[in-house]
Structure formats: structure tokens, C-alpha cells
Structure 1
Amino acid sequence: MSNVEAHPPEVVCGAGDPPQHAVEVIPPRDVPLGGPRAMTVRRTLPQRKRSLIGAWCFLDHYGPDDVSASGGMDVPPHPHTGLQTVSWLFTGEIEHRDSLGMHAMVRPGELNLMSAGRGICHSEVSTAATTVLHGAQLWIALPQSHRDGPRDFTHYVPEPLRSDRLTARVFLGSLLGSRSPVETAAPILGAELLLPVGSSARIEVEDDFEHGLLVDTGSVEFCGTALERAELGFSGEGRRTLTLRNTGADPARMLLLGGPPFGEEIVMWWNFVGRSHEEIAAFREEWQDRSPRFGEVHGYAGHDPQGIDRLPAPPLPHARITPRRNP
């Protein structure tokens, strides 16, 4: 997914957080995806309060969205560098096309992982059969060793795993004895969790990981801290177990994210992850000049027949932004 803010901030994200045992509660901020019938997403990463959880650097949560009212998702071809995109749906269907030549459908419970490497572009359009769109789009920052690598795309359908009353779909990393076969450049965890009404769960995790829990539906107590729908709870390193308790009147659905603190400083702006302001400016110029760095998307057909064929880059900030690091 693209960050289609008209004036996206430049964010410098650093490592070096001390272990934190208290859970931070990170509320979302609403961001329209553009147009008069814009679909609004709830963004919890990056924010001033926290920019990274492990290598996870971007999290948009949306829906349930009535496509007849919002127009659904229609993101024309747009670029990425230095990151991987993760598409995870609860309801609906999205058509993906990219400059690697991949044409794939994003469906509920199925992982689509796209690696930008040194440069890629892609489009995302909700299908005509979709009436309700509900899901999450996430980015993973690539470490220096992999950020200039080739484009790649992986599709994986995790089997549901049941442990006591908890159901998990582990799409990246390992949890509860289940390991995803999808290779990542750095250790990482991504899983969908389902917890029935009145149930509790205790999950063993890597104690050198940071963890984030996004509540999609219901109300949850995460390691003793209350989280409501669309809130993200953050727990720092040092925990060997995470506790969950469904405190609401409805089943709870969550996304659990994790990874060791990202050991590199990165700069994020618009759809690029780089290492300096100058590098980001160069990426923007190359996209505007239709550089072969990003390639071309073939076959994109948006909802608006008079719409644009690619997203233009917004203007750069007039001045450098002061580096912003996790607290």
C-alpha cells in the first residue's frame, strides 16, 4: 500500500531502546487514502510516540469498510525502496500487480509479502466482487545487508493452529510451535490471533524481541494493560511470556508483531525507506523521471477510467526534520 498523504513527514528512526516491561498504548490516527470518497485507514506506526517495533516500521489498519460508500481501495502504481510490504486481509479481496511481473490476489488469511529491495512499484485495487474491505497493510524495514537486493514476491497460506482456546495463524516467524517457511532478512514475528469471549492465553515468546499487539475486534487485556479496538500495545524486550485476556462481550481478533530492536537508523518518507535525506531525495527524483530502478506495472486498471496511471511523488519537506527516535 502507498502512503498517499499530501505532505508525508520525514521520519528518522533509531535503535537503542532500553528494555521496557510496561505496556505502551499507542492510539491510531486517521489518514485518508485520497479522493472525495476516500477510504480512511487507522495508522499506528510510525507515530511520534513510537516509530519501530522490531523491523516493523509501518502499520495501517482499515475497515470494515463499505466499498459502496467509500469506493474501496484504488492505489495506482507507486514505488518502494528498502522495505517489504505485508498484506493481510480479514474480509474482501485486493488485486496486486507489480514490476516484477506478479499478478496476485490478496485474500483473507493469506500472506502476500513483496520485497522492494533497491526498487519496485506496484498497484492495489479492491475487486468488483468486494463489498466490505477489512484488513491491514504493514511494512518491514530491510537491513543494510538486504536493502539493495532484488525484487521478490512470496505468497503463503498459514494453517490455523489451536492452543487451548487460542487460534493462531503464524504468517512470519514462529510462535506456539508453528514456524512460517517464509524467509525474512531479519528475525521477525507476524501472527493473527483469535480469542473467544471470556478466554485467556499465555504465550511463550523470544525474550530479546519487542512485541506489538494490534486489536482488530473486541477488547483485550495485554500483559495487564487494557486495549480497545484499533489500539496498538507495545511491550519491550525482556518478557518470556505474553498474557492475553478477552475482556469484552465479543470474540477478540488481534495481530501480534515482534522482532529484536532494529539495529540501524533509517529515514522514512512517503513510500521510501533509506538512510539519509539525500538518498530519499534521489529516490523521489528517479521515480518522477520514470527511472528503470522501479520498473513498470502492466495491466493496472483502476476504478476510475479517467484516473491517473501512476502516483506522482509529493513535494519534499522544505527543511530537514529533526531525527525522531523511539523513547
Structure 2
Amino acid sequence: MKKYYCLLFSGALAFAGCTEDKYVLDVYSTMRYDVLALPTAADTLSLNTVDFVSAREGFVGGANGSLFVTSDAGQTWTRRSQPTLGTINKLLFTSATTGWAGTSNGLYRTTNGGQSWTGVMTYDSYGSASGSITDLQFVTSQVGYAVGAGGSINKTTNGGTTWASVHRRIDKRYTFQAVSFTSVDSGTVVGDERSRWLTDDGGKTWDIFDYRGNPQDNTTHDIIRYNLNTYLLATPRGFEAHDAIRSYKPDNEYGGPVYGLATAGRGGPVVGVGRRMVIRRHEAFSQAGERTPWVYVHAPDGATINATFYAADFADASTFYAVGPRGLVYRFHYQ
């Protein structure tokens, strides 16, 4: 469940390699889950984003302006799709009525739960209309950031009424995929060419890290940032957890693409989702010496989850939802 305030975790995280993956999976990370059904014909639509504002009220969106709303924890859904929005990349609601959509056609705002939308101007690195917006975050009720195509990094200081570009390098015009700020001034944006841009002055200046590399794996899909040196990444190479001392990456057996990350808030659970993959931080295992706290989730029968997920979001500390291709919606329950 993502409100508009930043998600800042206290303390350092311990990351290390693990040689007992299969044992850990079976013992520590089995979850109960439900496969939910959207209205008829929604199974042809790719769902890219999910956002719950309470334990029962949530939204999912994706291709061709597809948008579905639930008020009963996913048991039933109301269609509010609008093809003119284009592909919905990111939904961020601050209440059951007020929210934002980052889409292939730009940034939009609703005040009636997605029944109608108003476009909001954002800009690319040339100062032109930015086009696709892939991710956004409100750090406070007034300060927020939105990123997307053409080197688009935009900031608002008036609750989203107006946005201004804070991208200072017109030679860096790749698509940014995700943004994560831990205060109004300190944050990171990531995207194509494995880009990782850091600022501690609200975007006035940036420390830039990027790498062209193999086009097949040069995009960072998502980030959760705790501080300058401690963060999580979702990448085509898998899940990565970093701190100032060490890092953890999945081994070759479980190194498939991870597309999305989600957290229930400060000190709460964290998950990563991807191709036939759900990864969770498991506190019981993190307390077992120097081994990694990150484990792969199995289905209730012990089998590997055979589904692909593009995004996830927590409805409360014990329940999260994950979405994917062909109208896929799962509800997971922590045990």
C-alpha cells in the first residue's frame, strides 16, 4: 500500500550469499494465494500496475487504458478503462477517489476514482512534452517526482498542479523506469543503460552512473531505496540487494527477470516479483546468522509459482497483490 509519503526504513540490512536455497524455500517461504478474476475479456489485457489504498480498495491498470477498481479486496471488479490514456504504466492513488496515472501518453490525474482523467504537462530533457511516464512518487503531500521517456525527470512542489524538469543532461535521453526518494531532496532514479542517478539536493545536481552493455539486460526495472548505499533493484538479471558492505544476487538457477518491487511501509515486509518468481524478505531467516534474508516463494504445495508478474502492491502488512500478462491478478497472504 503506497501512500504519498516516502518509505524510509531504519537500520542496515544484512545481505550475503546462500548455499541452502532449496531448503530455505520449502521451510520459510510458502504462502497462501488466490487467483482473482477480472470482468469478461480482461484476460486479453496485460496488467502493468496495481495500487491499493486500503485493505479492500484498489486499482489495476495496463494495456489500452485498461483500468479496474475493487472495493471488496478483489472479489469483484468494476471496469473503468479509457483507451485514450494509452498504456497505463503506473497507478498511484492517495485515496479511493484521488490518484495519478503515468501512461504512454503522459501524466494524468483523477478526482473521481478513475471515472475521468485530466492530462498534466511534464517535460523531457529538451523541455518538450515528455510523452510516456513510467513511474511517479509523492514524497510529501506537496513534493513529488515523475520519470519516463526521453530523459524525463519531473518534480512538483505544489501537490502536482505543475511540474518542472530537473534533468540536466540533454545527452542522456534514455528512458527512466523507476524513482525512489527517501526525503524531499534525496533520491535515486533508474532505467535504461543500467542508469542510476543520485541527488541530494532535489534534482539540482545528479551523480550519474550508467552502462550500455548488452541491450538484452541493460534496463533496471524498479528500485526501493533506503539510503544512499542501501537499496533493492529489480533487473533483467534478477533481484539485487545492496548495502555499503556487501550485496546479494540470485544464483543462476533463480536469476530470471524481476520486474517490480513492493513494500508495506517502514519496517514492513518487502517483495519482488518477476518471471515465475516471487521473492520476499523473511525475518526468521535473516536472524539465522550471516545468511541472506531474501528467499524465493513456493506455492502452498511446495511447487515453484508458474506465473509471471509485472508489479505488486501491499494492501496491508499481511496481504499483497501482484499483476501480470493476460489479466493476471493474484492475492498473496503472509502466513
- If each structure's strand is expressed as a fraction of its own residues, which one has the higher value? 1
Question: Is TM-score (shorter-chain normalized) higher than 0.5?
Answer: no
Q: TM-score, normalised by structure 2?
A: 0.30
Scaled by the length of structure 1, the TM-score of the pair is 0.30
Q: Per chain length, whose mean CA-contact separation is higher, i.e. which structure has more relative contact order (CA < 8 Å, sep 6+)?
A: 1
Q: Which has the higher helix share?
A: 2
